[in-house]
Amino acid sequence: MARTTYKPAIASAVIIANMIGTGVFTSLGYQLLDIKSGFVLIMLWVVGGVTALCGALSYAELGAALPRSGGEYNFLSRIYHPMVGFVSGWISATIGFAAPVALAAITFGSYLSAAIPALSPTWLAVGLIVVVTVAHTGRRKRSSNFQSVFTAVKISLIVGFCVLCSLMVDEPQAISFLPKLGDGGLVLSGAFAVSLIYVNYAYTGWNSVTYLINEVDDAQRNLPRILITSTLTVMILYVALNWTFLYVAPIAALESKVEVGYIAAQHVFGEAGASAISAVLSLLLISTVSAMTIAGPRVLQVIGEDFALFGKLARKNEDGIPTLAILVQSGLALIFVLTSSFESILLFSGFILGLNTLFAVAGVFVLRWKQPDLPRPYRTWLYPLPPLIYLGLMLWTVFYIVKSQPIEAAMAAGLIVAGVIGYVCARRWETKPPRAD
């Protein structure tokens, strides 16, 4: 049976759904602890969007020049060394997707249980992961339809939520979104840099289609358009959502809260209406969990193709879907849901994923230097500005995270060391002589 592939529209749906998830519906409350300016808060999302777009432009060149599934695992293995790629793949497999799946599922449970208090948020999260796993371990047509339907629902609900809130709010907040004295210093402050980690986490997923390049129709031609248009779409939706939250709800009510969408709905629709809106907003997280369940296991799959120790992870069904890899990632996500707190997962995963993409974007320069004659169907627009902008913003953010959150930085270092150990073990397994009968 001929293997089917994902159409460009489905690939775009994977990116959009990966990006629009936990971060945009939870991080504003944390940002408000140190930043109260409407202009600066919106600038966070604009700067995060520009960062993601610069990263997408850079990844488009890498994906077109090195067309294989696996994302950073493939890129870093080819650009630097197989060990670097393995560590990156280890990070993607353990934190890059399993942790965000857990976060999105936890947020889904939190929003839905706010609407229906009798339901347990933890078991709602577990149930969502199980249902999505079943949907994506069968035929590709079922997987594609599931993803496209819930992504279309997500975009429609976000637009509808923003329009209804702005039209129906009785008392808009007296917050200015124009720059004022002192905003410039705030934009350059450590508080802005640390808040940008939350924003960058919310934009995480702009690179997700590179994890399944081999399964996208005419990937070398379609990849740049898919990456750029999807990232721009999400940037517009993010700015609109955060403008809406700040326009309809007081800062004091949003500060340090996770369910900012629910709180905003309370101030527009009342308690009963907010419960209904909260249930609706929970539906948005279904496509996020779904998209990550499509993209993430492809990293485990290509690791299994390259290392005999993990060979079983490369097994695919008749439609080319890595069923066992999906089950492993979902199992890890369930462990996170049942054992970890929301904030600890968010800070740790945001930091380690920033390091992962930082090395990949730097690889654009390294690859041009090492292999100048390599065919590049797409070259980064306005090169070298996009990769330089991305690297500058990410390095600035990473510096402040190391400075202000040393525990998360130490945990990231420990995860990297574990990846190196895993690579050494995998290589020794490759060279191990066969057992005598």
Question: Does some domain include residue 117?
Answer: yes
pTM of the full structure: 0.77
d(CA 102, CA 333) in angstroms, rounded, equals 5
Produce one character per residue of 279-305: b if its CB has 16 or more CB atoms within 10 Å, e if not.
bbbbebbbbbbbbbbbbbbbbbbbbbb
What is the three-state SS of 304-333? HHHCHHHHHHHCCCCCCCCHHHHHHHHHHH
Per-residue pLDDT at 310:
80
Q: What is the mean pLDDT for each group of 10 consecutive residues in the chain (437 residues)?
A: 60 77 77 88 92 88 84 89 88 78 85 83 90 78 69 84 89 86 85 81 76 68 80 91 92 82 86 80 80 80 82 80 87 85 64 83 95 89 92 84 76 84 84 47
Which conformational region is residue 205 in: left (phi greater than 0), alpha (psi within -120 to 50 degrees), or beta?
A: left
Per-residue pLDDT at 390:
92
Which of 15, 13, 35 lies closest to 227 in space, CA to CA?
15
State the residue range of the domain holding 107. 8-431
d(CA 182, CA 189) in angstroms, rounded, equals 11
Structural domain tally of the chain? 1
Residues facing 6 on adjacent strands:
216
Q: Which helix (H) or strand (E) holds 365?
A: helix 342-370
Could you tell me the CATH number of the domain that includes residue 358?
1.20.1740.10
Question: Does some domain include residue 436?
Answer: no
Question: Does some domain include residue 437?
Answer: no
Question: Does some domain include residue 60?
Answer: yes
Q: State pLDDT tens for residues 386-402.
A: 999 999 988 887 887 78
Per-residue pLDDT at 431:
60
φ and ψ at residue 166, rounded to 5 degrees: -70, -30
Q: Which two tokens stand for residue 234?
A: 């999400």
Residues facing 216 on adjacent strands:
6
d(CA 4, CA 308) in angstroms, rounded, equals 26
Question: Does some domain include residue 3?
Answer: no
Question: Does some domain include residue 2?
Answer: no
Q: Which two tokens stand for residue 113?
A: 């249980």
